[in-house]
Amino acid sequence: MQLLDGVLVSAHIKEQIKQEVQDWQANGGKKPHLAAILVGNNPASEAYVGSKVKHCEELGFDSTLLRFDSDISEDFLISEVERLNNDETIDGILVQLPLPAHISGDSVINAISPGKDVDGFHPISLGRMLLGQPTFLPATPYGIMLMLEYYKIDTTGMHCVIIGRSNIVGTPMTILMSRASNPGNATVTMCHSKTRNLREITRSADIIIAAIGRPKYVTADMVKPGAIIIDVGINRIDDSTRKSGSRLVGDVDFDNVAPLCSYITPVPKGVGLMTICGLMKNTLQAAKQAKELIG
Chain residues binding ligand GUN by CB under 6 A are 94-97, 119, 139-140, 168, 275
Q: How far is the CB of 234 from ligand GUN (least distance, A)?
A: 9
Q: How many CB atoms lie within 10 A of CB 206?
A: 17
- Closest approach, Cβ 93 to ligand GUN, in A, equals 10
Q: How far is the CB of 184 from ligand GUN (least distance, A)?
A: 21
Positive/negative CA dihedral, 294, 289, 140, 238: negative
Q: Tell me whether residue 21 or residue 139 sits nearer to ligand GUN (CB atom).
A: 139
Residue of minimal CB distance from ligand GUN?
Answer: 97
Q: Helices (H), strands (E): how many in the chain?
A: 10, 11
Q: Closer CB to ligand GUN, residue 97 or residue 220?
A: 97
d(CA 272, CA 180): 26
Q: Select 171 or 202, whichever has its Cβ closest to ligand GUN.
A: 171
> For residue 218, what is the DSSP state?
B
Least spacing, CB of residue 196 vs ligand GUN, in Å: 28
Structural contact between residues 210 and 233, judged by C-beta atoms closer than 8 angstroms: yes
Please name the helix (run of DSSP H) or strand (run of DSSP E) that holds residue 52, with its range, or none: helix 43-59
CB 186 within 8 A of CB 178: yes
Distances (CA, A) of 32 to 60, 116, 215, 288: 8, 11, 36, 8
DSSP string of 254-286?
HHHHGGG-SEE--SSSSHHHHHHHHHHHHHHHH
Give whichever of 235 and 275 is closer to ligand GUN, judged by the CB atom: 275
Q: Work out the burial of residue 19: count CB atoms within 10 Å of its CB; fewer than 13 is exposed, 13-18 middle, 19 or more buried.
A: exposed
Q: Which is nearer to ligand GUN, 129 or 139 (CB)?
A: 139
**Catalytic (active-site) positions:** 52, 96, 119
How is 120-172 classified by DSSP, letter by letter?
--SHHHHHHHHHT-S-PPPHHHHHHHHHHHHTT---TT-EEEEE---TTTHHH
CB of 156 to ligand GUN, least distance (A): 28
Nearer to ligand GUN among residue 29 and residue 105 (C-beta): 105
Q: What is the distance between the alpha carbons of residues 271 and 250, in angstroms, rounded to a whole number?
A: 10
Q: How far is the CB of 24 from ligand GUN (least distance, A)?
A: 24
